[in-house]
Structure 1
Amino acid sequence: MDDPVLRVQSQLTDRDRVLLGWLYDHAVLTSFQIAHALFSSLDFCQRRLRTLHRLRLVARFRPQRADGGSYPYHYVIDQLGAEVVAASRDERPPRRDHARVERRRWTSSRSLAHRLGVNGFFTDLAGYARTHPGADLVEWLSEAACQRSGAFSRPADPGLVRAYQPRLRPDGYGLWAENDVIVPFFVEYDTGGEQLAVLTAKLVGYRELFATIGRVWPVLFWLHSAARETNLRRQLADTPPLVPVATGARDHAASARLCPAEAVWAIAGGGGQRRRLADLSIDVAGGRDLPGEAA
């Protein structure tokens, strides 16, 4: 009997496989995010997305704007695409209704804007790496992946650490490399809807995680405005953070036409000087163990 997974695999490029993996893991991306991260032009990206849509590897929807018009196409994994990803990872095939459930979830989700914001943070990094030799987004883990048992343990860790279930809910984890500098980090994407005390309270969970795994990485607060960043930094000055923290404001970055890889980060407790993401390896990570390295 014809196997649709085997039939379509020969038509996929390495870039297609990266995109399908992202959609499987991170749920939804806009055509603009995909183009910036993976393609040299929007037109080329849109042509390829139409092909993947025709092959039923991806599905799409287009939300309407409240003031008229519509947003760009939003892409999610389709059932065949999910089966291709699972097969490539030697994982159990997804449920038969996996794609339908995910599509319904995100077309009606009030958290869509937050998810797209988090994913935009990482696709901005991927887009920077695409156009800057020596830079690379080595790893990108979703909120769900961060909560899995043993997500941040090393192979040599004892069973207790491997079985540790993180109690925090970061919006994502990344591993950034630039010119032989490696920076593991967590991201907290702020929409302005939570009290600042709620944001700082999250650092308790990070302290517990770092104490358990024996390594410390920066926590990046990506705030929606410079004013909110200023208020958070005042609060962190009054109560020094439990773990290394750096803050950045999206409106400041946008006005300066900078992305999260560039000089948009200010270290909590520092003088406010803006640092590049790669600079946080020296000032925040402090040469601590990296994923997979022995102590």
Structure 2
Amino acid sequence: MDDPVLRVQSQLTARDRILLGWLYDHGVFTTPQLAGALFPSLDFCQRRLRTLYQLRLIARFRPQRADGGSYPYHWLIDQLGAEVVAAARDERPPRRDHARLERRRWTSTRTLDHRLGVNQFFTDLAGHARTHPGAELQQWLPEVVCQRAGTFVTDDDPALLRAYEPSVRPDGYGLWAEDGREVPFFLEYDTGTEPLGVLTAKVVGYARLFATLGRSWPVLFWLHSAARERNLRQRFTDLPDLLRVATGTREGSACPACQIWTTVGSSERCRLSGL
């Protein structure tokens, strides 16, 4: 019997596999996001996406703008693509309706802008690494994986595994390497719609999490404006010793790898690798 997964395997490049894995793990990307992160040009990216679409590995939709016109194509994993990723990871095959449910989820959800914003943060890092030798996005975990006890606690400490109850929902976890430094971090992506009190309350949850784990990583608050960053920083006082919080703003289309981060208690901006 012809196996479509086996049939398509030989047509995939290493970059295709990364792209499919991102779609499987992180839901939805626009064409410019994938082009900037993985391809030398937009035209090259569009041609390859078209090929993967014709192979029925990925799906797409194109939201309409309220003032007329449309947004770029938004890309999702298709059923065959999900099965290819699961097979490559030696995981159980996805549900037969996996792609249909994902398509319904992202074409109707009000959190689409938030997810695209989170993915923009990480694809900006990947794009920086692609054009800067010595830089690499070594790991990128989605929100759902951050909630699993085994992600940050191993079976070597079963008591800690049982005690692990995440009190926060990071928008992602990353491991960034540049110039010989490695920086693991949690991301909190802010759209500007939540009250500042909600953001400051998250710090308490991170402090509790790090106290349970006995180790910590920087928590990055990626804010939509400089004014909101100033207002939030005024609320951050007397942070626990285990907690290292940094704020940055995407105002002006700054790359998150660059010298835009300020840790609480400092007024100096530093690169992500400096955290």
* TM-score (ref. length: structure 2): 0.97
Cα distance per residue 1:258-279 (max 9 Å; x no partner): 3000001011111x21110000
Give, in whole Å, the separation in 2 of the partners of 1:144 and 1:233: 28
Match runs of 1:62-211 below 5 Å = 62-154=62-154, 157-163=156-162, 164-211=164-211
Give, in whole Å, the separation in 2 of the partners of 1:55 and 1:161: 45
Cα distance per residue 1:18-37 (max 9 Å; x no partner): 00000000000000000000
Q: Determine which of 254, 260, 265 is the counterpart of 1:264.
A: 260
Partner of 1:240: 238
Q: Which amino acid aligns with 1:16?
A: D
SS at match of 2:5: helix
SS at match of 1:220: strand
Partner of 1:276: 271
Once the two structures are TM-superposed, the CA of residue 154 in structure 1 deviates from its matched residue by 4.3
Partner of 1:289: none
Give, in whole Å, the separation in 1 of the partners of 2:165 and 2:83: 28
Give, in whole Å, the separation in 1 of the partners of 2:5 and 2:201: 45
Cα distance per residue 1:105-151 (max 9 Å; x no partner): 10111000000000000000000000000000000000111001221
Partner of 1:293: none
Give aligned-pair identity as a percent.
71
Give, in whole Å, the separation in 1 of the partners of 2:217 and 2:260: 18
Once the two structures are TM-superposed, the CA of residue 168 in structure 1 deviates from its matched residue by 1.1
Once the two structures are TM-superposed, the CA of residue 240 in structure 1 deviates from its matched residue by 2.4
Structure 1 residues without counterparts, runs of 5 or longer:
281-295
Query: What value does the CA root-mean-square deviation take over the aligned residues?
Result: 1.0
Q: Which moved more, 1:206-215 or 1:160-169?
A: 160-169
Partner of 2:5: 5
* TM-score (ref. length: structure 1): 0.90
Once the two structures are TM-superposed, the CA of residue 165 in structure 1 deviates from its matched residue by 3.3
**Structure 1 runs, 4 residues or longer, greater than 3 Å off:** none
Structure 2 residues without counterparts, runs of 5 or longer:
none
Match runs of 1:53-64 below 5 Å = 53-64=53-64
Once the two structures are TM-superposed, the CA of residue 162 in structure 1 deviates from its matched residue by 3.0
Give, in whole Å, the separation in 2 of the partners of 1:132 and 1:56: 33
SS at match of 1:126: helix
Give, in whole Å, the separation in 2 of the partners of 1:113 and 1:5: 32
Q: Which amino acid aligns with 1:5?
A: V
SS at match of 2:235: helix
Q: Which amino acid aligns with 1:276?
A: R
